[in-house]
Amino acid sequence: MPDLTPPVFRFAPSPNGHLHLGHAYSALFNQQMCREYDGEFLLRIEDIDRTRCTPELEEEMLEDLRWLGISWQGEPRRQSDHFEDYASALETLREAGLVYPSFMTRGEVKRAISDLRDKGECWPTDPDGSPLYPGDERGWSVDAQQRELQANPKHIWRLNMKAALDHVAGDIAWVETGSGSDGETGDCLADPSAWGDVVLARADTPTSYHLSVVLDDAAQGISHVVRGCDLFHATAVHRVLQILLGLPAPIYHHHDLILREDGRKLSKSAQDTSLRSLRQSGMTPDDIKRMVGFSARFV
């Protein structure tokens, strides 16, 4: 029997600033691929950061996307409406003994790493260049964790990566139809241990990017995740969480990024490439499409 379910794609921006040319490229690329596959296109608002994401920015983001010619089916899914679901997935992992609370502040982490490096230790960094967490709470007894949780409300829940990988037992892979920054494509073997004990939730936010993205991709029935290649390596973490939580694995397609002239990534704080300011300076959606390398006629 042929599988008649249409492929489902999503664009998942965060309303923590204004969309720039890189988002325009990603949204257009995603929409084009979705049309080629005769799929459904969904929108997700990734607004778990309650201090930086605002309703005004969300409204402006949706308006910029509509102006550009991006259209999606149904109501967008807003992550901040689903904190309870993330908390319950975290509880599942906690019950399985795969997460632990960590208590070191950013300053303490920085000092610990610089002490280790002063002693000549070559402390590893994750694929984004951040040092792995140096704390030792993963080995604490449940009593010690409970005592500290009561005394110290500012804690972070981390995945115990070693325990998680022991639990999964076996290779973790995904199907990549785009490519990573080193040209990795096809069946990609994941290396989640390179990320160490990733953050899954904070005392004030019951989730993190990694945890919510896998739960939402599953909840929205996403079959094809199309996003920038800066998230290629993070897919390793997503695959571990999908396996631990019994979620399906989408196909991934990582695309090139639109970079600044000096080769650095575009940022939401740089006004010159924001869709808003380009629009205010008189540019049309077709101008934006041409600027990011699409023919103006294609959408």
Scan residues 58-77 and list those touching ligand GLU (CB under 6 A).
none
CB of 268 to ligand GLU, least distance (A): 9
Rounded Cα–Cα distance for residues 198 and 100 (Å) = 11
Asked if 46 is part of the footprint of ligand GLU (rule: CB under 6 A), the reply reads: yes
The structure tokens 């139809």 sit at 177
Tokens of 61: 């983001």
Which residues face 274 on adjacent strands? 20
Spell out, one character per residue from 198 to 237, where the chain touches ligand GLU: x when CB under 6 A holds, - when not: ---------------x-------------x---x------
Helix, strand, or coil (residue 259): strand
Work out which of 7, 9, 12, 253 binds ligand GLU, going by CB under 6 A: 12
Rounded alpha-carbon distances, angstroms, from residue 184 to 37, 171, 265, 282: 23, 17, 20, 39
Site stretch for ligand GLU (CB under 6 A), options 7-15, 92-100, 124-132, 137-145: 7-15
Torsion sign over Cα 70, 72, 78, 82? negative
Work out which of 8, 9, 14, 288 binds ligand GLU, going by CB under 6 A: 14
Tokens of 72: 């999606």
Tokens of 213: 């993205």
Asked if 13 is part of the footprint of ligand GLU (rule: CB under 6 A), the reply reads: yes
Q: Is 248 exposed, middle or buried (0-12, 13-18, 19+ CB in 10 A)?
A: exposed
Binding residues for ligand GLU, total number by CB under 6 A: 7
CB of 294 to ligand GLU, least distance (A): 19
CB of 120 to ligand GLU, least distance (A): 37
Asked if 18 is part of the footprint of ligand GLU (rule: CB under 6 A), the reply reads: no
Rounded Cα–Cα distance for residues 58 and 18 (Å) = 9
Site stretch for ligand GLU (CB under 6 A), options 11-19, 115-123, 252-260, 274-282: 11-19
CB of 238 to ligand GLU, least distance (A): 8
Rounded Cα–Cα distance for residues 64 and 24 (Å) = 9
- State which amino acid sits at residue 257: L
Nearer to ligand GLU, 12 or 237 (CB): 12
Asked if 102 is part of the footprint of ligand GLU (rule: CB under 6 A), the reply reads: no
Give residues in contact with ligand GLU (CB under 6 A): 12-14, 46, 213, 227, 231
